[in-house]
Amino acid sequence: MFVYILTFLLSLVLYTLYKLIINDNKNIRKSSRKAILPPGSMGWPYIGETIQLYSQDPNFFFSTRQRRYGEIFKTRILGYPCIMLASPEAARFVLVSQAQLFKPTYPKSKENLIGPSALFFHQGDYHENIRKLVKRSLSPDTIRNLVPEIESSALSLINSWSDGAPINTYQQMKKYSFEVGILSIFGQLEVHLKEELYKNYSILNQGYNSFPTNLPGTSYRSALKARKRMVQILGEILKERENMQIENNLLSGFLNLKDKDNRSLILDEEQIIDNIIGVLFAAQDTTASVITWILKYLHDYPKLLEAVMAEQKTIQKSKDKEDCLLTWKHTRNMPITYKVMLETLRMATIISFTFREAVTDVEYKGFLIPKGWKVMPLFRNIHHNPEFFTDPQKFDPSRFEVAPKPNTFMPFGSGVHSCPGNALAKQEILVMVHHLVTKFRWEVLGSQSGIQYGPFPVPIQGLPARFWKESSI
Is pLDDT above 50 for 382? yes
Confidence bin at 32 (pLDDT 50/70/90): very low
In this prediction, residues 202-210 reach a mean pLDDT of 86
Tens of pLDDT, residue by residue over 37-77, are: 999 999 888 788 877 776 667 778 888 999 999 999 999 98
Cα(9)–Cα(12) distance, integer angstroms: 5
Please tell me the predicted confidence (pLDDT) of residue 259.
Answer: 63
Tens of pLDDT, residue by residue over 214-235, are: 889 899 999 999 999 999 999 9
All domains in the chain, ordered by first residue: 1-115+351-383 (3.30.43.20)
Please tell me the predicted confidence (pLDDT) of residue 245.
Answer: 59
Number of residues assigned to the chain: 473
Binding annotation:
419
Long-range CB contacts for residues 414-418, cutoff 8 Å, separation at least 24: 414/91, 414/92, 414/95, 414/96, 415/95, 415/96, 415/99, 416/99, 416/123, 416/127, 416/128, 416/131, 417/95, 417/99, 417/104, 417/120, 417/123, 417/127, 417/354, 418/95
Bridge partners (DSSP) listed for residue 336: none
Omega within 30 of 0 (cis) for the link into 166: no
Q: What is the 3-state secondary structure (H, E, C) of the chain?
A: CHHHHHHHHHHHHHHHHHHHHHHHHHHHHHHHHCCECCCECCCECCCECHHHHHCCCHHHHHHHHHHHHCCEEEEEECCEEEEEECCHHHHHHHHHHCHHHEEECCCHHHHHHHCCCCHHHCCCHHHHHHHHHHHHHCCHHHHHHHHHHHHHHHHHHHCCCCCCCEEEHHHHHHHHHHHHHHHHHHCCCCHHHHHHHHHHHHHHHHHHCCCCCCCCCCHHHHHHHHHHHHHHHHHHHHHHHCCCCCCCCHHHHHHCCECCCCCECCCCHHHHHHHHHHHHHHHHHHHHHHHHHHHHHHHHCHHHHHHHHHHHHHHHHHHHHCCCCCCHHHHCCCHHHHHHHHHHHHHHCCCCECCEEECCCEEECCEEECCCCEEEEEHHHHHCCCCCCCCCCCCCHHHHHCCCCCCCCCECECHHHCCCCHHHHHHHHHHHHHHHHHHEEEEECCCCCCEEECCCEEEHHHCEEEEEEHHHC
Cα(353)–Cα(86) distance, integer angstroms: 10
Cβ atoms of 147 and 431 within 8 Å: the answer is yes
CA 97 to the chain's CA centroid? 23
Please tell me the predicted confidence (pLDDT) of residue 209.
Answer: 74
- Give 54 or 172, the one with higher predicted confidence: 172
Cα(114)–Cα(121) distance, integer angstroms: 10
CA 260 to the chain's CA centroid? 28
Please tell me the predicted confidence (pLDDT) of residue 262.
Answer: 63
In this prediction, residues 152-159 reach a mean pLDDT of 95
Report the share of the chain in percent with pLDDT over 90. Answer: 57
Task: Tell me the torsion sign for CA atoms 29, 35, 39, 44.
Answer: negative
What mean pLDDT is reported for the chain?
A: 86
In this prediction, residues 175-196 reach a mean pLDDT of 93
Is pLDDT above 70 for 13? no
Cα(350)–Cα(352) distance, integer angstroms: 6
Tens of pLDDT, residue by residue over 95-124, are: 999 999 999 888 788 889 999 999 888 888
pTM of the model: 0.87
Cα(389)–Cα(384) distance, integer angstroms: 7
Binding annotation for heme:
419
Is pLDDT above 80 for 23? no
Cα(100)–Cα(415) distance, integer angstroms: 11
Residue 128 phi, psi dihedral angles, 5° rounding: -60, -45
